[in-house]
Amino acid sequence: MGIDYREGYFKFMIRRTFKKGNKSDNINALITKYKIPRAYLSINRKSISRGVFWGLLFGFIPMPFQMLAVLAVTPFMKFNVPIAFSMVWLSNPVTMPFMYYMEYKTGLFLLGRDSLSDIQLTLEWFQNHWDDIVVPLYVGTLPYSLLVSSLFYFLINFLWIRSVKQEKSSRFT
């Protein structure tokens, strides 16, 4: 894995990176002991890219219990749940204020509204302006949630397929 300067192009082996972690006996024991469906821990292109998609999708949505939302989708869509959980945590207490402010400002732009003035950090002020904050926030969430998660879904697929093709071509040369 890494950069192969002799051949003059990047040899990004994304598949190998994920497959290295698949050899653990501890994971197999965990799957057997708790009867976890293998699809939720499998390491293949579809499972990883879907896990990234669902994790980022819910990670951008301002709501409590984002990981429970990921779990709620698992019976309907098979994906790597640990990858999805890690993507959800990209929105963490440090990044949330920046993400939500960006989403709020985008929502204001999409709705054609002006930003609130005379902001006060009191519970009463937030109760009085709740609708003025929440509607633009969730409207602004939609483009980021859908576009970023879709972009990374296709990027993971592209890199994985490219990695497999490069590995195959290097075997025959």
Average pLDDT over residues 63-81: 90
Which residue is it, tokens 């469906």? 37
Range of the domain at 120: 2-171
pLDDT at residue 106, rounded to an integer: 94
Cα(47)–Cα(38) distance, rounded to whole angstroms?
10
> Which of the 8 DSSP states describes residue 44?
S
Whether the per-residue pLDDT at 6 is higher than 80: the answer is: no
Could you give the CA distance from residue 84 to residue 12 in angstroms, rounded to a whole number?
Answer: 22
Residue 5 pLDDT grade (very low, low, confident, very high; cuts 50, 70, 90): very low
Render pLDDT for 115-161 as a digit per residue (tens, 0 to 9): 887 777 788 888 888 888 899 999 999 999 999 999 999 999 999 88
Work out the mean pLDDT of the chain and round it to a whole number: 82
Q: Report which of residues 11 and 126 the model is more confident about.
A: 126
DSSP for 60-119, written as a single string: SS--S-HHHHHHHHTTTS---HHHHHHHHTTS-TTTHHHHHHHHHHHHHHHHTPPPP-S-
Mean pLDDT for the stretch of residues 10-27: 57
- What is the predicted pLDDT for the residue at 92? 87
- pLDDT tens readout for residues 29-62: 767 776 766 677 778 888 899 999 999 999 999 9
Domain count, the chain: 1
